[in-house]
Amino acid sequence: MIAFTKRLIVPQNVLLQELGGESVLLNLNTEYYFGLDETGTRMWSALTSSATIEAAFDVLLSEYDVAPAVLRRDLGALAENLIKHGLLELRDE
């Protein structure tokens, strides 16, 4: 599981296009693209605008009616998948 004390940043080679609440991410180097629904788009926004993954978790927990363990699992899985495909980079706080 990813450390929630880390920070996520968007690499320069990644484009984001939002369409009606949903988003498409594109890694220009690998041509890999990834679609996000409305909830995934909100997770992306929180992950990329927060100081740490834990801070993004706290923001999302206040916005959604979800069990903390479920949100932690889903947010961690999304972050790991986006890192795996070069759509986000993990940094120290």
> Is the C-alpha dihedral spanning 33, 38, 43, 45 positive or negative?
positive
Domain ranges across the chain: 7-88
Residues 8-20: tens digit of each pLDDT? 999 999 999 999 8
Residues 22-73: tens digit of each pLDDT? 999 999 999 999 999 999 999 999 999 999 999 999 999 999 999 999 999 9
Query: H-type helices in 8-49, by residue range?
Result: 38-49
Query: Whole-prediction pTM value?
Result: 0.93
Which pLDDT value is given to residue 3? Answer: 95
In CATH, the architecture of 7-88 is Alpha-Beta Complex (3.90)
